[in-house]
Amino acid sequence: MTKKTTVLSFAIMFFIGVAAAGQTPAKGLKVFISVDMEGICGVINWDETSQGGPDYGMFRTLMTQEANAAIAGALAAGATEILVRDAHDSGRNILPEMLHPQARLLRDWTSGPLSMMEGVDKTFDAAIFIGYHARASTPDAVLKHTMTTRLLDVVINGKKMPEAGINGLIAGYFGVPVVLVSGDQAIARQAKELFGDVETVVVKEAISTAAIMFHPSKARDMIREKTTAALKRLKDFKPLKFNPPYILDVAFADEALAQKATWIPGAVRKDEHTVSFTTNDFMDMLKLFRLSRQ
């Protein structure tokens, strides 16, 4: 038997075995994981999310471990390439030495419009959001805000957007669906409103400014299991997209900041707190949003 025949025979036997088992060969998946901190299990206070806070070191460890749980779940579902984006505050929270070695890590900020989604592109099969939180002004939500505590609201094409929504639109711009969101019950509800039948992992339940927490190890187990489940039904998810024109309304807590934002060409002052922008280009909308927050 020739070497060529041997290889061919092996391939035929492999596919017969796979068919007999009722399986199909796993496709390598490329997965983007954006990790914030306010929605990590255990986190309840701003001090816990900030460099210099007395317990910050412990909670950045928990943040890294939840990222690892998502990575493990993705690998179990057949992922062969994983990029983790540290998307909180300084962009330097996840502990590189503790991160799963089969993932790459993007740290710090580029000052570009992709922000918490820096690194995503059309080559990815799925996006996962770990440690996310509800939008500004949401009742019964842990550390709710939208990009900054200086904003009261961000509305795109009439829809109030949490950071998961803005970042989901960025993923959708590249044709990448969001398949899982973890955090408290408020962001889980908002994620369902935006993405439909997305997988969610509720790691804590907010009551006013407090929350009932799972044990962190239980939260990690749920994240790992739900990540695998989400990626195994990848075909059920669609990228989040809005049709142009894109109408962006940004409401500032401080009237002076709203006034400052009106200096941007094309800005329209809607009321005391709100400035509006309209464009047919999605990336221009992201740039306007970033400029308005400077």
What one-character-per-residue DSSP string does 195-225 give? HSS-EEEEEEEEETTEEEE--HHHHHHHHHH
**Catalytic annotation, residues:** 145
Under 8 Å between Cβ of 277 and 285:
yes
Tokens coding 4: 């060529």
Low-confidence ranges of the chain (pLDDT < 70): 1-27
- Identify the pLDDT of residue 294: 85
The full set of domains in the chain, from first to last, is 29-146+161-236 (3.40.50.10780), 246-292 (no CATH)
- Identify the pLDDT of residue 218: 98
- Identify the pLDDT of residue 22: 38
- Identify the pLDDT of residue 27: 67
* Packed helices 163-173 and 185-195: angle between N→C axes, nearest 10 degrees: 30
